[in-house]
Structure 1
Amino acid sequence: MKLQRPRGTEDIYYENAKELTALELILRNIASQYNFHEIRTPIFEGKDLFVRSIGTETDIVSKEMFELLDKKEREFVLRPEGTVPTVRSIIENKLYGKYELPLKLFYIGSMFRYERPQHGRLRQFNQFGTEVVGVKSYLLDVEVILLGYNLLKLIGLEQVTLKLNCLTDSDSRPKYIAALKEFLSNEKLCDDCLTRIVNNPLRVLDCKIDHDKFILAPKIHEYLSPEEATYFNNIQNVLNKLAIPFELDHKLVRGLDYYTSLVFEMTTLDEEGKELTLLGGGRYDHLINEFDQQLNYPAVGFAMGLERILLTLAKNGIKLATEDELDVYVIVLSEHARYFASSLLLLLRSNGLCADTDYLNRGVKAQFKSSERLKAKNVIIIGDEELKKNVVKIKNQATGKEHEVKFEKIINVLMKGKA
C-alpha cells in the first residue's frame, strides 16, 4: 500500500505550520481591533444551500464542489466558501435578534474546491473571511475595505492595488446585459463563455482566458441609477480623503452570483509580473432575503486564501513567525541525573519556560550539538556531582558564561535572564 496524501492537499508542519499559525494570529488580532467576532460553521453543508445562493452557472457549483451522500442518500458538500454558511447560521440561530447590528463576523477555516491543483490553489485550502450584516452604509463598505487593505500592509505586502467596481441592481441592469450581449456577440469566446453568455453574461467578464478582449466592453458603472452612482461615488470620495489609492475596473464582477453593488479586489504582481488576486469581496444585499423573505438584512464582506498569502510573503522574503528558540536545554551526565531532569523540566515548563532534553542517551558532545541546533538560550548541565551539591551548572549560550546555581534559585536566575 502506497501512503500518499490526496491530490490537491498538503501536509503543513514545522516552519510552514508556524507561519500559518502566525498569520492566523495576526488576522484574529486585527479583526478584534475592528470589533469583529468569530463564527465557526460545519465543514459540510447541504448541497442545496450553495446551489441556491451561489448560482448554478458559477464554476463553484457547476464544476468544483466536493459532493457527499450520507446513508440516507441526502446530498451534502464540503463547504467551498464561507459566506453562505455564515448567512445560513445567522438565519438559523437568529443572530440578528441576539446581537448588536451590524453583525460583524469573521471566520478562519478549511474550504474545498474540486479544481485542478495549482501553485497556491489547492483542493483543500484555508480561508479568512469577514461578513458585516444588517446595515447598508458606504462608510461601512469603506471600513471593510480598510480592514483588508490594512491587513495586507500589516503583514508586509506594500505593493497592493485596490480595484473597485459597482454592479447595478436597478431597472437598468437588463439594459446593460443587453448591451453586453451585443458586444460579446461580435467576439470569439471560449467554450465556458459561450455557455455563460446565455445563462449569466456578467460572468463572461470574469473569464481568465478572454479577459483582454473586454477592454472596450460596455461599462456597468455607466448604467448605475442616480442613487447607486451617488453611493459608489461616496465610497470613492472617502477613500480619496483617507489617501487610499484605488483603480476602477469595469471588468471586475467577482465569480459569485450573489454580489449586488460594490465589488472589490486587492491584487499584487507575481515574479513574472502577472496579476495575483490576494483578496476579494463586495456587497450582497439580497442573499439573506432569498433564504427568508421575511428578513431584509444587507451585507458586505471579503475573503482571502491563506496559502496564497503565505506564498506571496515567502516570495517577498517576509516571515511572520519568530524562530524556534528554547529557553533551556537540559544536558544530563549520568543516569541519576536523567531521572532528576524529568522533575526539573516539569518545574521549568510550569514557570513558562520552553525547555527540552535528550532522550536518545547520547554523549555530552552530541547533547551540546542538539542544544545549538535547537537554538537554546541556556544550557543546564547536571550530573552526579551536581546532584550531591544540590546545584546545577547554567551556561548562557550567547555569552559562554557558566556558573553554579542552587536548585531553589534556578527559576529566578533563568527568569532574570529572560527578562
Structure 2
Amino acid sequence: MIQKPRGTEDLIDLKVREYFALEMIIRNVVDSFNYNEIKTPIFESLELFKKGVGEETDIVSKEMFTFADRKNRELTLRPEGTAPTVRAILENKMYINENLPLKLFYFGSMFRYERPQAGRNRQFNQFGIEVFGPKTPEIDSEIICLSSTILNTIGIEEYTIHLNYLVNGEQRKQYISDLKKYLKPKSLCDDCKKRIQVNPLRVLDCKIDANKFDDVIDMKDYLNQSDKDYFQTLIDNLNNIGIKPIIDKKLVRGLDYYTGFVYEVKDKKGSTLLGGGRYDELVKQLGNVDLPASGFAIGMERLLIALEEEKIYISVPNSLDAYIIALSEKAKQFSNILLLMLRKAGLKVDFDFMNRSMKSAFKQSEKLNSKNIIIIGDNELKENNVIIKNQLTKTEKKVAFDKIVDALVGE
C-alpha cells in the first residue's frame, strides 16, 4: 500500500473541521484589524530565499525542498511566507505611498525538510501577517496585540510573550565580537562551532545548547540611545494595553532578516506558538526599495495541538437536519426530488444510499447526528406525506409533501 510521505499529515473529519474553524476565527480577527489577504505561489526562485532568509540559516542550508525545472531553473517549495510576500510587493509595485501602511495576511502550506515531530511536519500550514511602511513602536505593539487577540479569541489564555531587541549598526559589530569571546570556551554542538564563524547570533537559537546561554551578554547594553528609547516605548505601549512581556536576552529567532524587535509567544509548557519581529532591511535587500516592515507567523498545526491539549473545540459539531430512509424503489426515486428540495431550502440532509435494513439505517442516522429521520414508503407516496421522526424529542408525525420544509425549519 502506498503511504503518505514522511512528515505530512492527512486532515480528516474533526481535524479538518477544527482547522477551518481556526482559520475562520483568525480571518475575523485580522479583518477587525483591517488586514487584507495576499496569496503567493507555493514555489519560488531558490535565490529569493538565499537572499531573503540567509544562506547560513538552517532553513536555507539544510531544510529546503529544492528542484530544477525543465529549463534547469532552481526552484524551491516555500519554507516561509515573508520573503515571497516581499517579492510580490516589489514585483507588483504595491509599495507606493498611497498604499501605506500596507497591512497583509496570508494562509498557506510551507515546506521544510526537518525531523518530523508533534506540530512540526515537513509540510505544514502557516498563517502570517506583514506590515510595510511605518517604523513605529505603535505598529509593533499592534502586531503583538493582534497575535495575543487571536490566542485569546480561540480560548488559549495561559501563555507568555518573550521580547528582545536585536542590536544593529556599529554597536552590532562590538556585540558580535564580545559574543564570540563569550562563546569560545563553551562546549558546543558541531553546528554551533560553524555558526560562531559565520553567524554567531544563530548559536543562541540552537535547540541543543540553549540551556548553556542563560548568562549570555545582554544585547540591550549595546543598543544606541535611539534604539533603547524605541524599545522602551514599545514595552510601555504593551504595558498600557495590559500585555506584560518577558525581556529575553537569548531570543534571536532563526531567520537572518530580523533587524529590531523580535518576539515569541510560548505556551505554559514553554513551546513556541508563534513568533515574529521587525525586518527593516529586507525589502531594500531584495528590491532596492527603502520600506520598513514587521510581522509574525503562526504554525496552524501547533495551535491545533495547543487547543487539543486544553480540550478546547472550536468547530460546530457535525450534524444533519434530516436523514431520509426510502422503503421502496418508487420512494427512492421520490427521495431524489426531496433531497434537492430540502437542500435548496438551505437544509443539510442525506439519504440512505446503502439500502440498509431499517435498524441499520437508524443507527447510521445516529452516527451522523441527524436531528430528524424522514421515512418514505409506498403508503406515504399514496397519501402524499412522509413520516418525520424527531430524534431530539423522540416523537413522530405525518407531514404533507408541501409542508416538509416548514416542519424541518420549525424544529
TM range (shorter): over 0.9
CA distance in 2, matches of 1:341, 1:351: 15
Runs of 4+ in 1 over 4 A off after TM superposition: none
User: Structure 1 regions of 5+ residues with no counterpart?
Assistant: none
Q: Aligned residues: percent identity?
A: 52
Residue 100 (structure 1) shift:
2.5
Matches for 1:369-380 after TM superposition, within 5 Å: 369-380=363-374
| Alignment equivalent of 2:286, drawn from 280, 287, 291 | 291
Residue 381 (str. 1) matches residue 381 (str. 2): no
Q: 1:99/1:394 Cα in 2 relative to 1: closer, same or farther (>3 Å)?
A: farther
Deviations 1:251-292 (A, max 9, x none): 00000000000100000134xxxx200000000001000112
CA distance in 2, matches of 1:82, 1:135: 20
CA distance in 1, matches of 2:157, 2:323: 39
User: Which position in structure 2 is the counterpart of 1:180?
Assistant: 179
User: Which position in structure 2 is the counterpart of 1:360?
Assistant: 354
Residue 300 (str. 1) matches residue 294 (str. 2): yes
CA distance in 2, matches of 1:365, 1:186: 75
Q: Is the 8 A contact 1:170 1:225 kept in 2?
A: no
Residue 99 (structure 1) shift:
5.7
Q: Is the 8 A contact 2:160 2:268 kept in 1?
A: no
Q: Superposition RMSD on alpha carbons, in Å?
A: 1.1
Q: Is the 8 A contact 2:339 2:349 kept in 1?
A: yes
User: Which position in structure 2 is the counterpart of 1:399?
Assistant: 393
Q: 1:343/1:36 Cα in 2 relative to 1: closer, same or farther (>3 Å)?
A: same
Residue 338 (str. 1) matches residue 337 (str. 2): no
Residue 86 (str. 1) matches residue 59 (str. 2): no
Q: 1:98/1:136 Cα in 2 relative to 1: closer, same or farther (>3 Å)?
A: closer
Residue 170 (structure 1) shift:
2.9
CA distance in 2, matches of 1:81, 1:251: 22
CA distance in 1, matches of 2:227, 2:215: 22
User: Which position in structure 1 is the counterpart of 2:277?
Assistant: 282
Q: Is the 8 A contact 1:170 1:224 kept in 2?
A: no
Q: Which moved more, 1:252-261 or 1:170-179?
A: 170-179
Q: What SS does the corresponding residue of 2:126 show, helix, strand or coil? A: strand
| Letter paired with 2:277 | G
CA distance in 2, matches of 1:118, 1:416: 48
Matches for 1:203-242 after TM superposition, within 5 Å: 203-242=202-241
CA distance in 2, matches of 1:138, 1:177: 25
CA distance in 1, matches of 2:157, 2:286: 40
Q: What SS does the corresponding residue of 2:346 show, helix, strand or coil? A: coil
Q: What SS does the corresponding residue of 1:95 show, helix, strand or coil? A: coil
Residue 392 (structure 1) shift:
1.1
Deviations 1:347-376 (A, max 9, x none): 111111000010111121211111111110
| Letter paired with 1:297 | L
CA distance in 1, matches of 2:136, 2:109: 30
CA distance in 1, matches of 2:122, 2:238: 35
CA distance in 2, matches of 1:221, 1:304: 26
Q: Is the 8 A contact 1:332 1:382 kept in 2?
A: yes
| Letter paired with 1:179 | D
Deviations 1:321-340 (A, max 9, x none): 12110011111121111110
CA distance in 2, matches of 1:331, 1:53: 59
TM norm structure 1: 0.96
Q: What SS does the corresponding residue of 2:120 show, helix, strand or coil? A: coil
CA distance in 1, matches of 2:220, 2:399: 74
CA distance in 2, matches of 1:131, 1:143: 12
User: Structure 2 regions of 5+ residues with no counterpart?
Assistant: none
Q: 1:247/1:359 Cα in 2 relative to 1: closer, same or farther (>3 Å)?
A: same
Number of aligned pairs?
Answer: 411
Q: What SS does the corresponding residue of 1:336 show, helix, strand or coil? A: helix
User: Which position in structure 2 is the counterpart of 1:43?
Assistant: 42
Residue 77 (str. 1) matches residue 71 (str. 2): no
Residue 17 (str. 1) matches residue 16 (str. 2): yes
TM norm structure 2: 0.98
CA distance in 2, matches of 1:237, 1:63: 39
Q: Is the 8 A contact 1:332 1:364 kept in 2?
A: no
